[in-house]
Amino acid sequence: MASLRISELADAVGIAPSTVRYYERIGLVPEPARTESGYRVYTLDAEARLRFIVRAKRLGLSLEQVGELLGVWDGESCAATQEHLLHLLDEKQSQITADIAELQSVSAQLRDVQQQLATTAPPAACTPELDCCAPAIGDASAGGTDGDPIACTLDATGLAARLAEFAALFRGALVGRDTTAEGIRFRFANAAGREETIRDLARREQTCCSFFRFDIAVHGEEVWWDATVDDPKARPLLDDFLALPARLGVEARPDT
| Mean pLDDT of the region 129-134 | 73
Structure confidence at residue 144 (pLDDT): 40
Query: How far is Cα 12 from Cα 120, in angstroms, rounded to an integer?
Result: 62
Write the pLDDT tens digit of every residue in 57-85.
888 888 888 888 999 998 788 899 999 99
Write the pLDDT tens digit of every residue in 89-119.
988 888 788 778 777 777 877 887 887 778 7
Domains of the chain: 6-81 (1.10.1660.10), 156-247 (3.10.28)
Write the pLDDT tens digit of every residue in 220-232.
899 999 999 888 8
Structure confidence at residue 188 (pLDDT): 94
| Mean pLDDT of the region 49-53 | 92
